[in-house]
Amino acid sequence: MALLIDALLITLFLWVITAVVYPIIAWTNTFYILNLWPILLGIVILAYFTILEERWATTLGKGALELKVVAKDGNLNYNKAFLRNLSKFLWVPLVLDVIIGFLVSSRGNRQLYLDKLAGTDVIVK
């Protein structure tokens, strides 16, 4: 649910960016720039999750549900936050991350596979 809230917020942000940038693109006839939009989307998503989780151990969606990210060794840094969110760049890697994580997790500890690699977990505040 937290991911859906974050996805809505990121989508709204990108709609605002598009509304501002598109008239400039149309005026300058540089529509080829729109081919790079998926890459921009991936960068915005990774930056959003990485920066917010490293600084405040939560995102707006996680905060609304009173969740936070913790490092198992107590040191949540940019590298760990980036690694655990790498699959969010596109939806296919995210689905694979969820499926693989659930398949290899113990019954009581369901988590993303990249959470295991990063040494992080999502807990209730």
The 10s digit of each residue's pLDDT in 51-72 is 999 999 999 999 999 999 999 9
Mean pLDDT of 97-107: 78
Domain count, the chain: 1
pLDDT score recorded for residue 108: 63
- Residues 2, 13: Cα–Cα separation, whole Å: 17
pLDDT confidence band for 33 (50 / 70 / 90)? confident
**Is the Cβ–Cβ distance between 120 and 72 less than 8 Å?**
yes
Q: What is the pTM of this model?
A: 0.83
pLDDT digits (tens, 9 = 90+) for 116-125: 888 898 888 8
pLDDT score recorded for residue 19: 93
| Domain membership of residue 6 as a residue range | 2-124
pLDDT score recorded for residue 113: 83
Print burial letters for 35-62: b (CB count within 10 Å at least 16), e (below 16): eeeeeebeeebbebbbebbbeebbbebb
Mean pLDDT of 24-30: 93
Mean pLDDT of 85-103: 83
pLDDT score recorded for residue 91: 74
| Whole-number average pLDDT of the chain | 88
